[in-house]
Structure 1
């Protein structure tokens, strides 16, 4: 394409999320500057996902509006220093094209130049050999490109960024010692390659990275290149209800508390603050004095090796993430995150995992809808040195079956395999009340109808409104349906809306129809299902 409109911007943003997701782990693994916290790829992915989410919620009347939405979303969801810089790259692109309807080659040249200016200004002490060096090379290549054709300008920028990335170890000793290129620069090359691929319609060939020496464990514990004291925490927050002068003063204040300081805005009213420090309270108080800080996040760096050695007080722990049945799982010795009492954010789930203070943690999720935020929490815990494994469970009854075979005396890997096998051998059923009209495998359901589900699919429908009699009848039919394939043990977890006597009705029914089956019922109190049923 020779011009890029708002639709193409959306295609690029979506492709960036997918390519960053594919490259996240490899970028995390080469993250050694300014601290080896192994999260640059994860931070870039989270920031770009936040940008895409904001774009999808905004009207795309022009290419400037589309890029502006990306920039605002990236700033609001920026993670880490790399996320802040990415937000400024997107802001620079947006500011440069506000007066045009489409991006041409000359417009992209101006946009990359503005992105280079803003990203450099976002860093208190720019260092050669970082993402800023890679961005500057791309900007200069676009400026010097003899053609104004969009595809030729973007290919020139993409190729120049790859060449600059390969040269980063010769500019920054910490990278050469670790045998890697700059992680933030690698992320930027991914984004520019993706842009080139969207515009040209094909993958762009970039020069291969210069061969570097293999990494060693010692390379991850190197001191900072600047020689400043090693700061233990990363603090980030958003600020509004302030002014540019006050935020300029905040930048100077934060420089007294730590390093990697960045205070950047979206060009309108929102600012994001990032700093590595030891005095968390002072950094937050400084923000209070200039505006209204919110979305405050504090993370301890994963490279505190001496701290890691002592922070684990036990070898093994189980974390169960379910809605209701808290007492049941706690009685089995598990740490329980109750979805019925709090929303499942990655930060909350990470807190539950870290709070176990266990070296090895097995997570048993009882709801498939939390998998995305759970994966994010697990990635952070793993980056910080915990061995965390998610056992595939999709219902509280499968989590209960897995927990029943847990044996802390086994090797951690063997124990996880045993739990996974027990969960897989448990068929999961559920009786719930339909909230909306929908088409299912067995017909249309209306709000208020009773739904009998087997392994996540609706297999039985009883017209609403639900009565105690209809609930009991459908429960018996659902269990019969589940036992058609065989089974020896039926486990039932009773929900908050379960009618009195249901457990007795099921037991009496199965005593007649399946006398060989053992039935166990537990009060769960979950609000989202009348009952959960497991068959083993």
Structure 2
């Protein structure tokens, strides 16, 4: 029976990450809500690539070294719920392998079965309320499938092919377990991302080399390419690389020189001496050069000088020692420049984690915010249900500050919590007071435009029509309540479910795509139909024409 070794496993991980990268825009499109803000594929891709980044140019003698490095990279780069769960799947997978005492570090079929069982357990453990029909189901049913079909006389490829078969079939069944998937006509996006990873791993195991990442990816028919930032200067970049034995046979001096030319390199000098490679190149993107040479081995020395500033040496910033000079700090994650200013200036939030609607902040982003806060006790307001697990992961990794993560699932929750933050109270009372205010006399809603035909929560929505959703005081989740091609009708339907008798004030965050005319519609409806004060904020958020907070 053929067994796996460390080098093979590393190739498989790289191949899995590359295959996900090649398909992550497809995964993004598998949205359960008809809004063009799909980010599951992007989040999983960025998470996976952060793990792979830690492996590039390095060889490992033990499974512990490989597993610990890769798992740590995934955790630090985890973005969104899907990224956190993915990091835990591989963390669980490696827990069994790390415990192996085999000096040859070979992996047999029984090891693989145990590893995937552990992966399943860690994945479910990461989620407070597991939902079936998601990536959790895919990893569980895939694991059960290989447990039922194990054959000790077969090689590792047989196990991974069976795993891929089991996960693929499980993915097809996710719409039967999660009704909203069936109504929209898609499979679960997180599960799809995991299947692409396993598909890539099977390729790497079968062929002994990884799937190559595509040079150009398309999204909605548009080629996405990195544009060169034209400047009046370049960087003199010198690199010394120790070629790894694994990749030395793939290294070709002439091809490397040609590759540097295609990256707009000039004054190119590339020489090799046994296992050492010396490179000199003038370039506008030194980082691109370093990334390129990492695939050949370990970078031993780098010198980058800005030629415009007469060879000023590149220096590294030294992190200051954290002294925890503040007693408390309040951190909020928000999307939209105006929302960011509002939380900072009106709600006295100490630090903001700003992010786009398409790319969620990572665990490392939260850790950096905690570090910048430099406080004994830190309170985090995720303000998005998709960021809660990421914030919790940062809480587990933080070693100096005491961290509390509030269950703020939207900016309405975040506003109530921030308004009731008292720097004179002790940490426990502060947490309890903010938590109790999150769901007390506050409601949240939004207006946006659908990108497909679908029926959700009993509401029929047509492509390019407006629709409104509400998270009111009694419901624990956001519900679609109105939809119409006419924004006025949509707003009226939304307000009928959002504003209750006795509500005192509504805060309206105007998005980037909201027009002055639409704003006037909102004012007209409020003046004519409701006895409530209102306040407007130029939120500048993407996707959502308006965000509403009612208190």
Highest Rg: 1 or 2?
Answer: 1
TM over 0.5: no
- Please classify the TM superposition score into its range, dividing by the shorter chain length: 0.3 to 0.5
TM-score, with structure 2 as normaliser: 0.43
